[in-house]
């Protein structure tokens, strides 16, 4: 049985958890959306330097940095798939993002993790399908993480997480 799942509507940078997950680009260089918000909230210069030391991160993988100015102790950076119609293993890569992020959380000793809706912004993954992958993958995860908060930026995504079985926070 996986960790307890909560659906949250809000700003992932304000979450009080051990680690937050960043929907990063493969260069870990910061960008728009969640990635840009996390870089700004954590401290752009510090986080950029820490990410530069990690090098690139391929889709489906995850790497960690300190949380710097965030309430979370760590940031786990993962690179989701770019949606190409669903015929290029996008679901498998997205599921890997969740599994690998939880594996990194285990290595860090994190017991609570907040995830954004990975790949649903500029990467174009359909939000309903992405929510199914997130809830299904995390719900079946073999992890020491006890609490996963799925942080939705909009009401529709929050409702979808809740409909799929995540408890409202």
Please report the pLDDT score of residue 32 as a whole number: 87
Q: State yes or no: is 35 an active-site residue.
A: yes
Residue 31: the pLDDT is 86
Query: How far, in Å, CA of 108 to CA of 72, rounded?
Result: 12
The CA distance from 98 to 23, in Å, is 11
Domains of the chain from N-terminus onward? 4-168 (3.40.220.10)
Q: Which residues pair with 147 in a beta bridge?
A: 4, 112
Bridge partners, residue 62, by sequence: 78
Reported pTM: 0.97
CB neighbours of residue 51 within 10 Å: 22
Radius of gyration over alpha carbons of the chain, in Å? 14
Q: Which of 35, 89, 159, 167 is catalytic?
A: 35
Looking at residue 2, what is its pLDDT?
83
Show pLDDT as tens, one digit a residue, over the chain (169 residues): 689 999 999 999 999 999 999 999 999 988 889 999 999 999 999 999 999 999 999 999 999 999 999 999 999 999 999 999 999 999 999 999 999 999 999 999 999 999 999 999 999 999 999 999 999 999 999 999 999 999 999 999 999 999 999 999 8
């Amino acid at each position: 049985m996986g960790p307890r799942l909560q659906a949250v509507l809000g700003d992932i940078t304000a979450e009080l958890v051990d680690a937050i997950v960043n929907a990063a680009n493969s260069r870990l260089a910061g960008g728009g959306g969640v990635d840009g918000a996390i870089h700004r909230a954590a401290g752009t210069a510090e986080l950029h330097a820490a990410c530069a030391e990690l090098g690139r991160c391929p889709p489906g993988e995850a790497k960690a940095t300190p949380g710097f100015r965030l309430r979370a102790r760590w940031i786990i950076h993962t690179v989701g798939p770019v949606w190409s119609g669903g015929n290029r293993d996008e679901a498998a890569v997205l599921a890997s993002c969740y599994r690998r992020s939880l594996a990194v959380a285990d290595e860090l000793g994190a017991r609570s993790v907040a995830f954004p809706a990975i790949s649903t912004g500029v990467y174009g993954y359909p939000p309903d399908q992405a929510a199914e992958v997130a809830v299904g993958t995390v719900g079946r995860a073999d992890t020491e993480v006890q609490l996963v908060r799925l942080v939705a930026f909009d009401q529709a995504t929050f409702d979808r997480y809740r409909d799929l079985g995540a408890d409202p926070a």
